[in-house]
Amino acid sequence: MAPDRGGKSTNSGSLTRTPVGSRFDPANTQAICDLVADLLGVMVVVTDMEGRALCDVSNPCGLQLAVGNHPRVERHQIEEHRKLCATSGLTTRLTPSYLGLLCARSFIRIGIELAGMVIAGGIAPDEWPPPPEKQARLAERLDLPVEDLAPHLDEVYHLDKSSQQRIVSTLPKVADLISNIAVAKDTTAGATQQPTRRTAT
């Protein structure tokens, strides 16, 4: 199965969606993820600070689609996102995921609060696919037959160094955009909730 590079979101192989907090507009968040995934040629998702997806995964690679619906995979994904959240430092950089692929995250701030993350992933490292012994260990950890995993290992995104650097430099801008939309939404909501003052006569 070839990876979908159309930048569209899909429920297949994606994390289970959780109710979006009032600060994040679901339609705008999904639209931004779809656009960024299409422009960068990678998977993109926005999560809360507990690692739970706030939208569908945009542009999932074939490997994600192949294993994403397996019972243990969603737990691994959420744990991976929590690790990204707990990683020291605010700098965006590429790091190995639980599948061995590269991913990067940038925090979404609302005021002084870290409210979520935008994550890009599905990127093949320099040495990919992994050797058979690593494939076997990965399949065992995911409780998958290696025969089900191996055919999809190369259905990932192969990017040169300049494209990888573009992801690292773009993600903070995407996080800022989502943050600005959330702040504007908060401001608008606060204004509409202000009681109308009656003019004294």
Separation between Cα atoms, residue 3 and residue 30, nearest integer Å: 19
In a domain, 117, yes or no: yes
In a domain, 6, yes or no: no
| pTM of this structure | 0.81
Q: CATH code at 99?
A: 3.30.450
- Taking a C-beta distance cutoff of 8 angstroms, is the pair 134, 100 a contact? yes
Q: What are the structure tokens assigned to 27, written together?
A: 């339609």
Higher pLDDT, 89 or 3: 89
Domain count, the chain: 1
pLDDT of residue 140 exceeding 80, the answer is yes
In a domain, 105, yes or no: yes
Render the burial of 133-169: b for 16+ CB within 10 Å, e for the rest. eebeebbeebebeeeebbebbebbbebeeeebeebee
Separation between Cα atoms, residue 74 and residue 13, nearest integer Å: 9
Residue 105's contacts (CB-CB under 8 Å, 6 or more residues apart) are 81, 84, 85, 87, 92, 117, 118, 119, 120, 171
Other beta carbons less than 10 A from residue 124's beta carbon: 19
Q: How confident is the model at residue 186 (pLDDT cuts 50, 70, 90)?
A: low
In a domain, 189, yes or no: no
Q: What is the mean pLDDT of the chain?
A: 82
Q: How confident is the model at residue 49 (pLDDT cuts 50, 70, 90)?
A: confident
Report CA-CA distances (Å) from 152 to 58, 61, 122, 157.
18, 9, 12, 12
In a domain, 199, yes or no: no
- Residue carrying the six token digits 């590429």: 94
In residues, how long is the chain?
201
pLDDT of residue 88 exceeding 70, the answer is no
Separation between Cα atoms, residue 97 and residue 77, nearest integer Å: 9
Q: Which domain holds residue 131?
A: 26-183
In a domain, 191, yes or no: no
Judging by DSSP bridges, how do beta strands 43-47 and 95-96 pair with one another? unpaired
In a domain, 99, yes or no: yes
Q: Give mean pLDDT, residues 13-26.
A: 58
In a domain, 65, yes or no: yes
